[in-house]
Structure 1
Amino acid sequence: MTPSVPLVYWFRSDLRLRDNPAWVQACALNQQLLAVVFEPHIASTEQRWGCLQPGAHRLAWWHANVRALQLELAQHGVTLLVLRGKAVEVLQTVANKVGAVAIHCEEIAAPYERAEVQALQHAGFEVHPHWGSTLFEEQQLPFAVDELPAVFSQFRNLVERARTPVPVPVPLAAPQHVHGFSIASETAASFAPWAARPPAEQLCMDARSAFIWGGETGSAVRAGNAGAHAYLDAYFSSDRVAQYKATRNGLIGMAYSSKWSPWLAVGAVSAREIWEALRTYEQRQGANDGSYWLWFELLWREYFRWLHKQYGDALYRRRGLSEIARPVVATKHQRTFAHWTQGRTGCELVDAGMRELAESGYSSNRMRQILASYWIYDLSGDWRAGAAWFEANLLDYDVYSNQGNWLYIAGLGTDPRGGRRFNVAKQTADHDADGQYRNLWSASP
């Protein structure tokens, strides 16, 4: 009797079963499934900056979401192997053990992630990437992707004028009939060299953090799709939606912003699931400035994804989409970079922000803009080094938004103003006049 050969589903930035188009399509093939996921790593193209591996906070949050996914998959009889290393090398070892040749996965339109898929294809695997991280399907956009509007405001206006629909049904239900591949325990154990190391749970418990998760207290939030929905239920039952536009530039605590990004970044929840919750809120409570501004932020996330579809590798060049590169003080770069990353620039607000990032894995949107601006304009740093540092340390790192926002601040993307330089003195007066934030993240907590 010929042994069964499984289809491999490779979870990437889509750690959920609900509203996951790639997972739904793989399950629809009615084959036995073996699921795999790779521990986060820093893209090789960025290792030149010395950011060799993800920070502890990013890894801890990722591990927590993977464990939640493992438990959910186990209920369907599906094994999730947690792996470490280069995808092509490790998946060849998996294939040798179980005979798999076909791989389904999320499509990610970034250079390193595309190269991973190409390497697998060159190695003889049959790889099926599925696009599924956006609100809209490509054919629903009121323009071709290669004609994406040059600036975000034009994109937003066209989408809103066309009343571009979010696909229905929203969201896609998680498949209930899944055929898990029965993998022997000794076979699973043979991947021990690549098995994920246990996370340091205590990292998430810094009381100063603006995103506290995973603790035993009732106020802490949880990882995974169920944790995301519990958080969304609480969020949309509060008055935080109506207040969002006024509070979104805050620096301290859970309440000033939506805090959706940690789940969105690992794909534990989809943008469409959030859109559905937002729509339900507006039907129940009525639309307001806060609810519209949350939609506005979802559109920014959307724009950066289609921007990658349009420009790809060009977004990773030193000059970005510009014809010329911004000058960099190369001789001082390494020392200056160390001072910036360690919060030792001498600028109190920036140093507090860099310490918050290092010690909690989180930073507000306003502070990220300030930190990026200071690195690029005040320290004459290479924007790619700053982007790599954020990639390593942000627990809510998202390849599209991180790259898009750094290009935006540097004036090397699609911003018509040619860059966003923030006056730190003004930002301090506007957002930390009483010094509360700087004191909170002082060098001696």
Structure 2
Amino acid sequence: MKTVIYWFRNDLRLEDNPAFSQACKDAEHLLPIYIHQPNLEKDTPWGFLRVSEQRRIFLEQSLQELRAQLSNLGSELFELTGDQLNVFERLRVQIDVEAIYFEHIEAPEELEQVALLRNAGFRVYSIWQSSMLDPQSLPFALQEMPDIFTQFRQQVEKQKLRFARPLEAPKSIPPLPSIEMSSVEQNALNHQSQECLFQGGERAAHTHIRRYFERRLPDTYKQTRNQLMGMDYSSKFSPWLALGCCSARTIAKQLSEYEVRYGANDGSYWLWFELLWRDYFRFLHFKFGKKLYYSRGLSKNPSNPFDSKQFIQWSSGKTGEPLIDAGMRELQRTGYLSNRLRQVVASYWIYDMKGDWQAGAAWFESQLIDYDVYSNQGNWLYIAGKGTDPRGGRPFNVFKQTQDHDPEGIYRRIWLDSVL
């Protein structure tokens, strides 16, 4: 009997999950698993936890929902702890594993995990599925894609590419193989004491997306997207996209249906535009790979040295610059920060405090509920001038940003008066 393992990574959903759908088609028995990685429990080289409490809560909620979805179809989610190779070696002792299916992640750490599995003799099927556009539909090979986003966008729009059609969730899942339940440690993390802005999981994702379109918020997206406070100024799709509780293609399809119903406008276009930026940062990894993770990035200039005292001031919101301190306190308290302030606080760390951009990127990875390896790396490279942007960096004037986006000081008062 053909036994297949499906390894959920950053795709915690059943709808529009091509890798999972393919595994269901190919398997006679299917074992769905999620692996909690010990290396994510450790400190970063800069001395702070790699994954914050907010991120853990959102992950736990998302896994609970995925487990419920699988259970409704007669299956189960097995959560294991350990490095990937050891986990699969343990499973291979218990069951005759024909193949391992999972989503493809084109980032160095994730690629190394897969290489170890292949080298150990596992048959793996790694399927790309996290972008809005199908890479095969692009008018260029990914290794030859335009470096500059505007050129990338223009070629995409010239071909009238909008999004790849999402798949429906499987109607049925192959039965579980026979396996000793005691060999699988189910993780009950129970981090529910801390406040969380978002509820994790596929159902919560679809509820939020549906309400966003029902309230016709795309119409005002371009005008409000740079605001700092509230739930409605931006789409807030990113937390669910980050863990794959929903797909970019599903959102793009609903956006297209919205435009058919109500008409396209600047706001609806800008939503698609931002999803295209997300694709661009993903596709750049196929062209530049590990270079995107070098301290110099794609530039020839060295990075700023790391100063631990200054980093503590920046990360804890104690720089003395009110807008920066308010933003950093919101980030640490909630695990979220507006896109505008992400750019401003990153710029302040790199250009005003002369900080190491990689330490800043790692802090965002630790804190952000919507951390996404591609977008986080791409945006920090962009601000630091170590990516593909020809302008060589993006410093922000904090005084101007304060006047433009918090002229009455409401945002600053809220977060500077809060107690961490």
Match of 1:396 in 2: 370
Q: Which residue, 190, 204, 211 being the options, matches 1:234?
A: 211
- Hey, what's the Cα distance between the residues in 2 that align with 1:394 and 1:40? 18
Q: Which residue, 116, 119, 131 being the options, matches 1:119?
A: 116
- Hey, what's the Cα distance between the residues in 2 that align with 1:100 and 1:349? 54
- Hey, what's the Cα distance between the residues in 1 that align with 2:281 and 2:38? 21
- Hey, what's the Cα distance between the residues in 2 that align with 1:191 and 1:49? 33
Look up the equivalent residue of 2:148 and give its one-letter code. V
Q: Deviations over 1:225-268 (max 9, x none)?
A: 22212111111111321111110011111011000001100001
Match of 1:405 in 2: 379
- Hey, what's the Cα distance between the residues in 2 that align with 1:290 and 1:266? 25
Deviation at 1:31, TM superposition (A): 2.1
- 5+ long unaligned stretches in structure 2: none
- Hey, what's the Cα distance between the residues in 1 that align with 2:156 and 2:43? 34
Confirm or deny: 8 A CA contact 1:22 1:129 kept in the other structure: yes
Q: Which moved more, 1:82-91 or 1:66-75?
A: 82-91
**2:342 counterpart of 1:342:** no
Match of 1:189 in 2: 182
Match of 2:226 in 1: 249
- Hey, what's the Cα distance between the residues in 1 that align with 2:4 and 2:31? 6
Q: Structure 1 residues 130 and 38, CA, compared in 2 at 3 Å: closer, same or farther?
A: same
Report the 3-state secondary structure (helix = DSSP H, G, I; strand = E; otherwise coil) of the residue aligned with 1:203: coil
Which 4+ stretches in 1 moved above 4 angstroms?
40-46
Match of 1:220 in 2: none
Q: Which residue, 296, 315, 328 being the options, matches 1:354?
A: 328
- Write out aligned runs for 1:117-156 (5 A): 117-156=114-153
Match of 1:39 in 2: 36
**TM-score normalised according to structure 1 size:** 0.90
- Hey, what's the Cα distance between the residues in 2 that align with 1:61 and 1:54? 11
Confirm or deny: 8 A CA contact 1:58 1:361 kept in the other structure: yes
Look up the equivalent residue of 1:213 and give its one-letter code. F
**2:65 counterpart of 1:68:** yes
Confirm or deny: 8 A CA contact 2:52 2:367 kept in the other structure: yes
Q: Which moved more, 1:54-63 or 1:156-165?
A: 156-165
**TM-score normalised according to structure 2 size:** 0.95
Report the 3-state secondary structure (helix = DSSP H, G, I; strand = E; otherwise coil) of the residue aligned with 2:78: strand
Deviation at 1:371, TM superposition (A): 1.2
- Write out aligned runs for 1:214-233 (5 A): 214=199, 223-233=200-210
Q: Deviations over 1:175-211 (max 9, x none)?
A: 1132121445xx333333xx43423224235xxxxxx
Match of 1:178 in 2: 173
- Hey, what's the Cα distance between the residues in 1 that align with 2:402 and 2:36? 38
- Hey, what's the Cα distance between the residues in 1 that align with 2:379 and 2:52? 20
Q: Which residue, 95, 99, 116 being the options, matches 2:96?
A: 99
Task: State, as a whole percentage, how many aligned pairs show the same letter.
Answer: 47
Deviation at 1:42, TM superposition (A): 6.0
Q: Which moved more, 1:134-143 or 1:423-432?
A: 134-143
**2:246 counterpart of 1:269:** yes
Confirm or deny: 8 A CA contact 1:15 1:267 kept in the other structure: yes
- Hey, what's the Cα distance between the residues in 2 that align with 1:284 and 1:23? 32
Deviation at 1:101, TM superposition (A): 4.8
Q: Which residue, 378, 384, 389 being the options, matches 1:415?
A: 389
The total of aligned residue pairs comes to 419
Match of 1:425 in 2: 399
Confirm or deny: 8 A CA contact 1:43 1:112 kept in the other structure: no
- 5+ long unaligned stretches in structure 1: 206-211, 215-222
Confirm or deny: 8 A CA contact 2:384 2:393 kept in the other structure: yes
Match of 2:53 in 1: 56
Confirm or deny: 8 A CA contact 1:46 1:388 kept in the other structure: no
